[in-house]
Structure 1
Amino acid sequence: MQNDAFQSDRSKTKAWRLDQLEKLERMLLDNRERWTDALYKDFGKPPFEQEFEIVVPMGNINYYRDNLDDLMAPEPVALPAGLAETGHEGVIHREPFGVTLVIGPFNAPILLLLDPAIAALAAGNPVMLKPANTTPATARLFAELVPKYFDPRDVAVVTGGRDEISALLELPFDFIFFTGSSKVGKVVMRAAAEHLTPVILELGGQNPTLVDTSADLERAADYIAWGQNAISGQWCIAPGYVCVHEDVADAFVEKVKASIRRMYGDDPKKSPDFARMISEKDAERVASYIVEDQIVLGGRHSKADRYVEPTLLYPAGWSDPAMQQEIFGPVLPILRYRDLADVVGRIKTLDKPLAAYVFSRDRAVAERFIHSVSFGGGCVNMTNLHCWVDSLPFGGVGSSGMGKYYGKAGFDALSNLKSMLVSPVDQLLDVFPPYVEKDIEKLLAPFAG
């Protein structure tokens, strides 16, 4: 149904795209309380974390609505002088790929399902939504509301678990957007290869954070404490570990402890601002990374309550259990370093992360870190907030993903850039054989610049 509708070219108009964005906006705002209630039911998301799942997609809708004319317009490009002087034109047209499958994760089940869908719709692609089955209340709400607001030829939804995802991946979609683990990302990519379907994979990794001797330690402590414990650490861009210069490490740890207590109290389990793990299995997994003699804060956990307390491990080492994979929970290893070159070199031996952060008043230190370490994106003197800015392309690199979205980058990623060379009817470029008596250099001159 969606493919037949796409072949009719109905989704290529500006009117269609604006209509889809308006419907999505109404679906969010008309049911705002129901969305936030669903997030709380699924894993106890606090009000602020509920609201940014509405606010961030709204910002992306507004960006595309305000910039659609420019994004859809054919883009003239410069040509070699020999072609330009004879009236030739180079133009890039952005056309939608077609029916796009968007598979969302559990940790931000509204935002990380809808943001890719918003980019896809703005670029003219019909969308099939697959919400996470591990957030059942949110998935049920998608299943209920999407058919009420959208023509199924434009936006449809499929719920379920592994069997449903496997069935979807057997279909010849025109584009697949997946957010989730690297393990499942490989499954998606293998399935996409069967149909040569292009993909964006937004995965994850163990995200490094560097704090040097010049850093504002209180600022660093606040941002790291919040960035690592929001959504109970179940955030693909959360700081995964912190490397702190040995001269300030002890002082930094004390400030992080104070920040966590100020944000979540002495018993975070009672805090209305601290979410739960998505499952008992995940609570048990994250608790297994805790090394008892390294605990300087926290450490309490309950599998039955899906709870792991904000926990600091210090001093941690590179071979510790918490350093062997993405933690995806509220456990933070803190390592000491002495030499910047050494710690940057060690970070570079690990898989490329989705995000990285550096706290320093020394711009040279920040620039060295940014240019030497490969990662998807990040912040200087803050954490996490880069993914809320629609003008900053968001995505991973290497094992943390491929492809970028948000803003113009998202529109371009969900569009086929169709390059056209337009020739005046009265201009003939003689590129035809026989070549024996022709000046080859002269024939090629228009393309030589």
Structure 2
Amino acid sequence: MNQAKQLVSEQRTFFYTGQTKNVEYRIRALQQLRVGIEKYQQRILDALRADLNKSEAEGYGSEIRIVLGELDFALEHLEEWATPKSVPTAAAIPDGVSTIYAEPYGVALIIAPWNYPFQLAFGPLIGAIAAGNCAVIKPSELTPTVSHLINDLIQDVFPREYIAVMEGEVETSTELLNEHFDYIFFTGSTGVGRIVMKAAAKHLTPVTLELGGKSPVIVHKDADLKLTAQRIVRGKYLNAGQTCVAPDYLFVHEQVHDALIALIQEEIQDKFGNDVMKNSDFPHIVNARNFDRVSRFLEDGKALIGGRSERDQLLIEPTVLGDVDWSSAIMQEEIFGPILPVMTYQDLNPVLDEIVRRPKPLALYLFTEDEQLQEQVLNQVSFGGGCINDTLSHMTSHYLPFGGVGESGMGSYHGQQSFDVFSHHKSIMKRSE
């Protein structure tokens, strides 16, 4: 019996004992996880620095703090979420009582990516535990220091028959996907998402796919340009652009293009210094293969800001690229790096038509005070989620489900939705004899 098969068998046996269905058991597990994260906090930060060159401030703010926030929210609300919900009964059944019970699926597989390797492993895990499941985590092999850290932390906190980690390369993921899990939660590229969904189909296993895509930013002529520049820079260059909801390309009204570019340049200098290539805290590209892929995009237009790269350091400076159009190579795939192509418009309608014709983006960001324009964009364009007059902040709210649509994903999580996504909602009608 291979390792994956043995592990799934052990976890399914433990799940059938019914211990994880006890709400107090789940609460204790989440409390233990929180203690473990606090114990390993410095090691987490050191691992993020080693694999991605994230500063302690960025590592804590974009990974640990978000996970702790999700943990605390789940601990606060778990008893309420797990309580059976009474709902109205149809008038045709006057003696009926209707109730919805949330029950765990069983053994869940969580496949985590490399770009936020701690947050995107433990965020789904919180939902799996809160809902009463056992879980196997497969961390990304592209961030090996974080992967080892996750394994050590989980082994320290939980027995393997409850929560476990399987490290390894692509072969390990394939081995795991060959097993019959009760739920699969995958975060990663659209291409690999198709592979995961195909594997899940063999066992009719339900899946959540958190994918990506080309997320547009639209800046109208009435936007507060200084604030817009600040929020675009923060959203685009966090983690060197290696963020699934990072602004992928920018459309700005031609009347404010030059002013916005100048303010973006000022904001980059304020945030990262006059020479980002000498900034020891700016994250690097995860590996040489991704560096080569992203750096090729620098040839697709004219660098209005930045444009330098250093392969030995896996470093690409924050760049804004002009002289691009819909046919440019940089507009054909998700960038996942610190390069922002910019185009202008006079009439927004053709831009929206082009966006709608392409795969549905994971996020969309619109900067305008025009409420009619806001409603037009929200009604016309399908996308996972987003912000008006901001970037990224929608994914930090416990009250907003986070996920994609179409090629950008399937299903959503965060807050109560993390509990719901790992739960089967069983409908029961009770009648008197």
Shorter-chain TM band: over 0.9
CA separation in 2, counterparts of 1:352 and 1:303?
Answer: 32
Q: 1:292 to 1:377 in 2, by over 3 A?
A: closer
Matches within 5 A, 1:320-331: 320-331=328-339
Question: 1:291·1:313 contact (CA, 8 Å) conserved in 2?
Answer: no
How far is 1:16 from its partner? 1.4
The two structures have a TM-score, normalised by structure 1, of 0.92
Q: Does 1:95 align with 2:121?
A: no
Question: 2:104·2:133 contact (CA, 8 Å) conserved in 1?
Answer: yes
Q: Does 1:176 align with 2:203?
A: no
Deviations 1:278-332 (A, max 9, x none): 0011111111011365111111112221111111112421111111100000000
Q: Does 1:3 align with 2:12?
A: yes
CA separation in 2, counterparts of 1:163 and 1:149?
Answer: 27
CA separation in 2, counterparts of 1:78 and 1:343?
Answer: 46
How far is 1:131 from its partner? 0.8
Instruction: Tell me which residue corresponds to 1:12.
Output: 21
Tell me which structure has the larger Cα radius of gyration: 1
Matches within 5 A, 1:231-250: 231-250=239-258
Instruction: Tell me which residue corresponds to 2:48.
Output: 39
**SS at structure 2 position matched to 1:288:** helix
How far is 1:68 from its partner? 1.1
Question: 2:300·2:324 contact (CA, 8 Å) conserved in 1?
Answer: no
Matches within 5 A, 1:135-214: 135-214=143-222
One-letter amino acid of the structure 1 residue matched with residue 88 of structure 2 = A
Matches within 5 A, 1:58-73: 58-73=68-83
Instruction: Tell me which residue corresponds to 2:7.
Output: none
Matches within 5 A, 1:25-424: 25-52=34-61, 53-83=63-93, 86-291=94-299, 294-424=302-432
CA separation in 2, counterparts of 1:322 and 1:58?
Answer: 36
**Aligned residues between the structures:** 423
CA separation in 2, counterparts of 1:107 and 1:51?
Answer: 14
How far is 1:143 from its partner? 1.8
Question: 1:283·1:301 contact (CA, 8 Å) conserved in 2?
Answer: no
**SS at structure 2 position matched to 1:106:** coil
**SS at structure 2 position matched to 1:225:** helix
Pairwise CA RMSD: 1.1
Runs of 4 or more, structure 1, over 6 Å off, are none
One-letter amino acid of the structure 2 residue matched with residue 38 of structure 1 = A
**SS at structure 1 position matched to 2:343:** strand
The two structures have a TM-score, normalised by structure 2, of 0.96
One-letter amino acid of the structure 2 residue matched with residue 72 of structure 1 = A
How far is 1:371 from its partner? 1.7
Deviations 1:7-28 (A, max 9, x none): 1211101111112101211111
One-letter amino acid of the structure 2 residue matched with residue 320 of structure 1 = S
One-letter amino acid of the structure 1 residue matched with residue 422 of structure 2 = L
How far is 1:156 from its partner? 0.5
Question: 1:205·1:400 contact (CA, 8 Å) conserved in 2?
Answer: yes
Question: 2:301·2:324 contact (CA, 8 Å) conserved in 1?
Answer: no
Gaps of at least 5 residues in structure 1 are 426-449
Deviations 1:377-431 (A, max 9, x none): 1111110111111111001110011000011212111110101111111xxxxxx
Instruction: Tell me which residue corresponds to 2:5.
Output: none
How far is 1:266 from its partner? 2.1
One-letter amino acid of the structure 2 residue matched with residue 258 of structure 1 = E
**SS at structure 2 position matched to 1:37:** helix
Question: 1:54·1:110 contact (CA, 8 Å) conserved in 2?
Answer: yes
